[in-house]
Amino acid sequence: MSRLLLISNSTASGGAYLEYCQGEIVDFLQGSKRVLFVPWALHDLEGYASKASEAFERIGSTIDSIHNAADFRIAIEGAEALFVGGGNTVRLLDRLHRTGLIEPIGRRVKDGMPYLGASAGSNVACLSIRTTNDMPIIQPPSFDALGLVPFNINPHYIDPDPGSTHMGETREKRIREFHEENDPPVVGLRSGSRGAPCGWAEPGPRGCFVVARNRWSTVRAPISRSCWECDEKLQLLRSAGQTTNCPFE
């Protein structure tokens, strides 16, 4: 069974990297002491690996960064758990495609390897990265992602401000444009939100949105720890366009 913890943002205001959610990470890893880190969403790989290493040392785990591995595929095959960090989602997906890691990561996760994603790392766990907020600073071979969950994510989701005089596009409008051309549901994760599609989900104090084609459903906080666990609930996500009910209830 797949185990994923997908986080909207890695840092909360005033806190250290991953500090605000380190309790959930400890519970999620279930004793895994060595975590393989994928830093390819940022340019400074060594600096990013050092930052992640400090965060995981606080919880008693050790980081091995994949960019230092002699063979990327062997590193994936031998990993106890995987952490894919945030940054530019397009650059991250490009590297995953060009290193040939889409298939081995997907297979290992489906076989039970824990997958922890933050921001861009949560985006690439989805069907595609078409709902990322990031600039396409590089051209990936495909926008198709790992497909570990049957929906897309929009991290750092911001609600429309009815009192704003800004006339630009809102996140809601951009997601509606996505649904003019695409069918998959979109989970809008507000900052501070996180969810585990096979295990537990905790959306943070303000909840998150599940966006089906032509329909919006508010997911109320807190979500029960089993809400994304069973196949029946995931099936509701796949058919969310035919229901006005919250697909996580």
Query: Which of the residues are catalytic?
Result: 119, 134, 156
Residue 42 and residue 88 in contact, taking contact as beta carbons nearer than 8 Å: yes
Residue 26 and residue 19 in contact, taking contact as beta carbons nearer than 8 Å: no
Sign of CA dihedral 211, 215, 220, 225: negative
Between CA 13 and CA 156 the distance in angstroms is 13
